[in-house]
Amino acid sequence: MDELIAREYLELNGFATMPLRKGRPQSKRALKEEGVDLYARNLKFVEGDRDPAFLLFSSELRRLKSAVVCVHGWHGEMASLAALKSGADMLKYIESNVLKKVEKWFEFENWRELGEAEFPKRILVAPAFPTQEVYRARIVAALQERGIDGILSFKSMLLDIIDRVDTRHVYPKSDLLQIVRTLKTFDLVKDSQMNFLG
């Protein structure tokens, strides 16, 4: 489901995506060690004067030409989103678990076969990101030192998907978008702007 959310989000924002499986691991431990999930190429890429910001939101994606995206790995181990509320706890978890594995997650030798002149941006999907600037800055610096070019959070991806789904439109090729449409139709889910105002 995590990969599906990331793929739908990227495709709604003008990317063509392709799964990048390394093969099927045989054990749960091997599954945790598996890394890169998606290759994404921006069909609406706009050459600009700067790279996209490290924390990626929809407004920044037009600056991202292509990326390899690691969707799973560290966030599957967290017990609940409640554990992510503290920036200190998130920093400690990342320092002791994520930083040891993140370079391995982005190992991908066949990137030239994608028609790329250089390795695409490395984008890590995270469950959330701390709001406290001191912890956010330390996490960004640590991940950048390991070669990560950006972070997508599940919360921002899901909010964007919810906002983009139109209840008057049917999405026959996407179960996820159709489920969101149904939830919105019955007022079980509302646009983020409506939630903010309400």
**In the chain, at which residue ranges do the beta strands (DSSP E only) sit?**
15-19, 38-42, 66-70, 121-126, 150-153
Domain ranges of the chain: 2-164
Question: Which alpha helices (H) appear in 26-145, and where do they start and end?
Answer: 28-33, 58-61, 87-93, 99-105, 133-145
Please state, in angstroms and rounded to a whole number, the distance separating the CA atoms of residues 12 and 124. Answer: 18
68-84 pLDDT per residue, tens: 999 865 555 554 555 55
Indicate the burial class of 108 (C-beta count within 10 angstroms; 0-12, 13-18, 19 or more): middle
Q: How many residues does the chain have?
A: 198
Q: What is the pLDDT of residues 123-173, one digit of tens each?
A: 999 887 888 899 999 999 999 999 999 999 988 999 999 999 999 999 999
Q: Which of 139, 116, 105, 13 is CA-nearest to residue 67?
A: 116
86 vs 128: CA distance, rounded Å: 11
The pTM score is 0.85
